[in-house]
Every structure is written in C-alpha cells, then in structure tokens.
Structure 1
C-alpha cells in the first residue's frame, strides 16, 4: 500500500528540491513589473524568491520579511498576485486594501469563507469555530456567545487577573528589580497568559508563573510550534507539506510532536477539571459550561472519551486567548520602553485611581494592583494598546477562499477556489489610512482633539479583532485583561530595553518575538 503513494510524492519532492536550491544561486533577481516582488520562474513560479527572502529573514538580524511584503504591497497598489509552482495551491492574492477587506468581510461575506485549505493547515483545530464555515460556524458562534457573555464568567476572570498579577507577576518583577537581573518579558507574559487562558478554558491553573519560575510545561512551546509550522505550510505547496507530513520530517515532524503534547495537555486538564474540589458556586470555566449544556459536543459516544470536536474547540479557545493577549503584551511593553512620554501619559491617567487607593491602604510602600473596572475608562492606556496592535498585530494574516467568481473593489478579478491572504501587518502601515507618520508609535492618533475619548476606526481598517459577522467575541475581555496587567506594571516599575538586544518578529502565524524581550526592571520611586 505504501508503495502506491511514491509516484504521487515524486513531483512534490522535486518541486521542494528546486525551491530549496534555486535561492542559493539567485538572491537578487526581481520581477520586472514590481522590483520588490521575486521573479516568476517557469514551473516553480515565485517560490524560489519567496524561500530566499525567508532565509534572509532567518539569517540576518533586523531583516524583517514582513516589511519586505508590506513594501511590495504598497508598490502594487495594496493588492498583488503571487504565483507559485505549476498546478500547486500557491496561487493567491495578497491584500491590505481596506475597501477589499470590507467587501470580503461584510458586503459579500458569504462568498469568502475560511475554506478547506485553512482547515487543513490548522488541522489541530479542524471542526472548531476557528476553521468552521456556514451553519457549523454559526452553531459554534452561538455557543461561544452564550459562554463568553455570562456575567459570572467576567467577574471570575477579573478576580483571576488581579490575583495572578498580585501574587505572581509583581513579585517576580520585584525580585528582578532587587537583584538587577535581566528578565525576558516575553517569557514572563507568555507564562502569565498561559495560566490565565488555561484557567478560563479548563478552570485549572497550571501555575507556570509562580515563585521560582518552574520549568516551562512542554505544552507552552508546543502552542508556539503550531503557529510557526502554520506559517511554513503557507509558504509551500500543499502537496509538499503533506508529503513531509507523511514522511515525518522537517517542520512536520516538529508539528506532530507539538500536536501530541497539546492533546495530552488537554486530556490532563479535562481530568483535573473533573476531579478538582468545587466550592459552593457552580464552575464557570468554558469546559464546565460545555459539559453542562452541550454534552453531545463533548463525548464520543462510541468510545466514551472526550470527542475530537471538544478537543479542537478547547485548543481553539486556548489559541484565541493565548496568541492574542500573549503577543500583545510584550510588543506593547516594547513600544512603551521606547516611548517614555507615553508611559508618563498612562501614569497621569492612573494617578487619581492610585491616590484614592492609597488613602484606603495603610502600607505606603505596597505595590499597586488595579481592578478591571478601574482601568475600563482609561482612554490613553486604551489608545496606547491599540497603537501597538496596529503596528504589531497579534495575528499576522487572515485567509479567505473564494466560492464564486467576483470582482474586488480594487478591480482585481477573483475566481472560484482562489485564495486571498490579508496582511494585518501591512494594513497598519497604509499611509492613506494612518497618515504620513504611519510608521511611528503615536497613541494620540486614536484620541479625540480634547483627548477625552477614543476615535472610532472601522474594523475593516483595523482588523485585529476581525470584522463583520466573525468579529471577535472576546474583544472586550482581551482589552480589559491587557489594560489590567499593563497598568500594574507601568505604575509600579520603570522598564528599559537591554542595550544591544535585537527585537524582531519571528516567522510565525502570530506575532511572536524571534529573540524574546530582554528588559531591565526597577522599582519606581513614587
């Protein structure tokens, strides 16, 4: 049986070999129509040039592949066609044009589903709300809306955020400040958000962020691997990565191990959820909600084990919570460290709250922790967060398939089964939307003239929380979580980037940092 697969592997492996070796000999060959695009070669299309530019990103510190793509999009009028190898799945449009995005996400939403290709690439969450389309997606979304809108859940999470910041994050920062140790804030925030997201989904705190910084659980980097390999799958024909998966080599071997670890983690958390002691109040975590209200979703009736749909759904919620807040926090702190005047503005906004709190507490030297309700109305902090997400969006791209032939508002004709990639990174750098200072970090662009309220920016121009019918259900929850955490950090500590440390995006589907975020922390003198 295995030998019958070999003829089907021959062409993909030849294409992979060609794509791997041609970039060694062509490094600067560019398209004649757009010099920022790689040249289109016979048989293999633009794939060699794409691979060459990705190799450059990996090898050279400070060389940002996403900026190269952004420049190519700008030079092409914000939409371009990428052609891959002959008869491959790599012929797609890339766009950052807001009018195209409004068309796909709102005006003609039904014609632009996620598609089967997206579900294959993110196969670990296939069947969940992240990959579903049509009626299946509407069913998942209705369940998600019910689960996330419960007041008791929001109150529970606000307490979790506060306790984790007070008992986990701030003591670790104080220790680093006292010893003068450099600290990787991306790792610290990654642990914090992993704990908080696991608590939301399973009602169990894995205690990754605690005194002594315990060894990182294997599931945490495994989630990073999911996003890294998803990016790799987008850069090669589907037949190639499927061949690598079959052979269990390269990034697919790494992905298989990551998936094994994550499924084991989910099973472990389900067991802990079932046996943990309950208080007088009913549990409000997502798993408990699903098992109480949608038992058919949760159990495979043939085996009696947790169903594949339940696994995919729980992992999807872990990704949705962890990869958004977990990437937003370090990039926001990075931007704040580079812009001390913004930190001063946030502190001025926090000062009245801190003063009122100080009058009620006896210890003048105590660390200040803010409640979610206290930070809700802070517009400058909100603007600082959105401005960071504009420049460094948590998820770097969205993918849409085309059901029926259509013409985009930009004038580009798309055919049924075409694939469209939306670059959120490039969207934040469109001069016609954000102005000539679009590359600058300036929270004021989000504020009214008097600075007292946030300006409305349509979601088709600022896509970090999605747009149209698929708008993120956890948007307000994520905003509140980030504001609560950042308020405590910037009020209690001065933060500085370690000199010489290079901060650069990793090649991933989410905005991970390639080298982490090394910072020096000092206790702030009040």
Structure 2
C-alpha cells in the first residue's frame, strides 16, 4: 500500500469519526429518536450505540409510545418496525401465525441451526414439535433428567461454590451457571458430560463458541447484507467468529454423535430397549413420523444443536439475572429463604422431586419478575408472507422486517404500570395467595402462540431447584464496582459476567 492510499484511508476514517461525533452531539441535545439521515437512514445512531443496543432500542420505544419505524440506509431494504405492543405480538405469534413463518431471511441469519426446530416451517416444524414433545413427556426421560440434574448440583455446583466460599475469592457466577447448564444439556442429549463445572474450571472452547455465534447473530440483524458478505469473504469481524464457532461446535457434536450411534448400533436389540437414551429415542420417533433423513447425522446435529442452545441459554441466563437482581433486593431474598424453610426445610438433605415446588408461590413470582425485566431471548423478528394490518394500525408487507422487543416490553409503563421498573414478586401473587397468571403475549420470555417453548416447564423447574439449593446454602453478593450490562447478543447474557463473592450460611442464618 503506497503513501497516497494510506492517507486516503486515514482521511476517510477521520471524516467518519467526525461525522459520528457531530451526530452524537446533536442527539444529546434533543430526543432519543434517531435522525433519519439522507442515504444513511438511521444507521449512524446504531453505530454509536452498538455497545448498548438493547437499552438504546428500549429508550426509543419508550419515547415513541411502544412502536417505532426504524429506517435503514436507502439501498439496503433494512427498514424495521420495532414493537412492544402486546396486541401486535399476539396477532403475529398466534392469531395470524400462518402469515408469519420463519422464512428464508430468518434461516439465513440463523443458518448455523440448519434444519433444527427453530429454523423450519410447515410439516417439518410440526414433526419436530411433536417428536420433541413426545420425548420430553416420556416417563423415563423425566426420571433421567432429574437424575442428571441432581448429580450435577450435588457433585458439581455445590462443591465449586463451597470451594470458592472457603477461599474467599471473587468468581464469575454467570460462568458457573453456563458451565452447569452446558454439562447438564450435553449429558441429557448426547449422553456425554464435558465436566466443564469442575473445581479447576477448565477452559472449554465449545462454551466460547456458543457465545461468539450468538453475538454474530445479533449483528446480522442490523448490518447490511453487503457488509456481512464482505466480512464472510475476508473472514473478519463477527463473521469470522461465526465461522470459527461453527467449526468448533460441529467438531464437538459430530464426535459425540458418531460415538453414541456406533455404541447403539453395536448393541444387541434387547439391550437397545433396556437403556433409555435421548438421542436414539429421537431417531425412533422421527422414523415413526416418516421423516426421510437423507444425511441422518446432519439432521440429528441440527436437531440437537437447537435443543442445546435452548437448554443451555435459558437456564444459565435466568439464573444469572435472578441472582443479580436478588442482590439488589435483600428483602426478597429473605422472603424466599423463609419460604424454603417453610416448605422444603426437611427435604433439602435428600433429592426431592421438582414437582414438589408448587407451594413456592413467592419464588415463582420472583422468577416471573426476573423474566419480565430480563427475558433470555430479548427479541424475535418476523416478516409477513402477505400484506397485513396490525392491531396498532401499522401496515406491513413482505418488505417489512418486524422486531418484537421482548426486553423492552418489561420496561413499558403502558403494559406494566408506573412501577414497571421496580422488582415486585407480589405482582404475580393473587389476592387469594396463589399464582397470578398473565398471557404469554404479555410475558413472552418463552415465546408465545404455537411456537411457545416446549421445554418451558422443564426449564423453570430446573431454575427453581438450583435457586433453592444455592439460596439455602449460600449468600451471593456482587463485587462492588463491577458493572453489569446486557451483552450485545441474541441471548441476554451479561457483557462482563457477574462477579460475586460467596458466603456460606450458618445454621442460625
């Protein structure tokens, strides 16, 4: 590169920086609604706020009454209708469900998931859902899940917390919960325990790969396709992260799959029936529904990766935000501890069943509040097949990308009242002292409508059980000065983790 080219590139960078500084200065002097610049649209506002995308979108939606049309650069076809309107969300996800499939655009953004349940439409999606529901309802599945869960709590989670509390060290609680969830879901689906939740907390490349892929997916929503293609061609930025993460995850999953399939095929028929294995149960169920696999291993890889993402991310994300917000509300923690002593005190020395959690009303309310303010999946996006008019009056067609901002919904006074930013478990308790229910389109933490998460109850039971065991044995206190912010990711992880100190409770406390 000669001197002239270097000076030209430097000049362009300086011009862009000056332009962004001027935009930033002008936006601070007025409303948070971004300027619709000629040619560039509202993309400069996004560039200035990529480090706080969820809060930025929320501020815009609050200022604009809950629905906002974001204008992309004129040449990119990136205009987006962003909404928190519960009636619009109910219309899109339930009432007019058939008009809002995943579609090709969604599959391109989430291409790493292949033909898994989250990516497909029509008959294949219906089969995926029926098979997954059938496996989850299997009596032997529930027994296996409970055994794996308790084993990881007693031999993984509690020993690690005990070791850290004795040493008086700081630790990243989000990392602990991610390892816990990852080990559980791998053991359940692949019959393989990576043992990432060990006392030495080993580096596990597969965990990092999940985070890198989810970060890249978020950026795919706001970057022009031309930029993404260039990044893919040059192998730079988030697209390089996605490519590397894809290879890492494939290597892990295919190795586990091939090993288990070989073991199963070498078993005698009578032994195949004796041992309940989730992987082989999926194979049998898909065959019963007449699925023609083509590449069997590839189809199973897609199926299991989607379920791994759901199982790993929902549990670890909810637990991380729950203990963060619990630390800001010590009275809530005291009430949960009191409820634990009232209903489960005599059983905490043994492996009780998750269906014994029905009387933990206050804990349920606290978790719902956490889901309201910090949903694991902060948004969803849809594109209609045919032109449509939403209940809010907005007209949409095949060129309109609709962003359903679940994260912003919990911060809207129009939905949750003037106290929407307060953490109030009582919000979910009826006057009679029971659990107060709200429609899923008002609290879409596990999606809503026909595509509502089939593992919702399983995930919540797991979160409750872990929360009870941790609260009963330990007090969690965030490290002073540690900044907790949502990560720029498709999953609402914490950008800098959750640095805490762990103190063991005494018998009197």
Task: Confirm or deny that 1:286 pairs with 2:286.
Answer: no
In the TM superposition, what is the alpha-carbon distance from 1:18 to its structure 2 partner? 9.4
Match of 2:175 in 1: 187
Task: Confirm or deny that 1:508 pairs with 2:486.
Answer: no
C-alpha separation in 1, matches of 2:249 and 2:496: 24
Task: Confirm or deny that 1:28 pairs with 2:32.
Answer: no
C-alpha separation in 2, matches of 1:396 and 1:319: 15
Task: Confirm or deny that 1:49 pairs with 2:45.
Answer: yes
C-alpha separation in 2, matches of 1:368 and 1:283: 25
Task: Confirm or deny that 1:225 pairs with 2:232.
Answer: no
Pair 1:509–1:35, CA change in 2 (3 A):
same
Task: Confirm or deny that 1:342 pairs with 2:329.
Answer: no
C-alpha separation in 2, matches of 1:276 and 1:38: 58
Match of 1:124 in 2: 112
Q: Say which SS state the counterpart of residue 232 (structure 1) adopts.
A: helix
| 2:471 equivalent among 483, 486, 490 | 490
Q: Say which SS state the counterpart of residue 25 (structure 2) adopts.
A: coil
Pair 1:280–1:263, CA change in 2 (3 A):
closer
Matches within 5 A, 1:267-306: 267-274=254-261, 282-294=274-286, 300=294, 306=296
* Segment drifting more, 199-208 vs 288-297: 288-297
C-alpha separation in 1, matches of 2:152 and 2:16: 47
In the TM superposition, what is the alpha-carbon distance from 1:290 to its structure 2 partner? 2.1
In the TM superposition, what is the alpha-carbon distance from 1:160 to its structure 2 partner? 1.2
Match of 2:318 in 1: 328
Match of 1:5 in 2: none
Match of 2:126 in 1: 138
Alignment check: 8 A CA contact 1:161 1:485 kept: no
Match of 1:167 in 2: 155
**Structure 2: gaps spanning 5 or more residues:** 1-11
Pair 1:477–1:17, CA change in 2 (3 A):
farther
Over residues 305-339 of structure 1, what are the superposed CA-to-partner deviations in whole Å (9 max), with x where a residue is unaligned? x4432222111111111111121111001111111
* Segment drifting more, 39-48 vs 291-300: 291-300
C-alpha separation in 2, matches of 1:18 and 1:466: 43
Alignment check: 8 A CA contact 1:397 1:421 kept: yes
Match of 2:410 in 1: 428
C-alpha separation in 2, matches of 1:392 and 1:39: 28
Alignment check: 8 A CA contact 1:120 1:126 kept: no
Alignment check: 8 A CA contact 2:343 2:360 kept: no
Q: Say which SS state the counterpart of residue 404 (structure 1) adopts.
A: coil
Match of 2:241 in 1: 254
Q: Say which SS state the counterpart of residue 398 (structure 1) adopts.
A: strand
In the TM superposition, what is the alpha-carbon distance from 1:93 to its structure 2 partner? 0.6
Match of 1:499 in 2: 480
Alignment check: 8 A CA contact 1:82 1:92 kept: yes
**Structure 1: gaps spanning 5 or more residues:** 1-14, 58-63, 359-366
Q: Say which SS state the counterpart of residue 200 (structure 1) adopts.
A: helix
Instruction: State the TM-score, normalized to the length of structure 2.
Output: 0.90
In the TM superposition, what is the alpha-carbon distance from 1:24 to its structure 2 partner? 4.7
Task: Confirm or deny that 1:392 pairs with 2:358.
Answer: no
In the TM superposition, what is the alpha-carbon distance from 1:424 to its structure 2 partner? 0.7
CA RMSD in angstroms comes to: 2.5
Tell me the matched-pair count: 489
Task: Confirm or deny that 1:522 pairs with 2:509.
Answer: no
Match of 1:83 in 2: 71
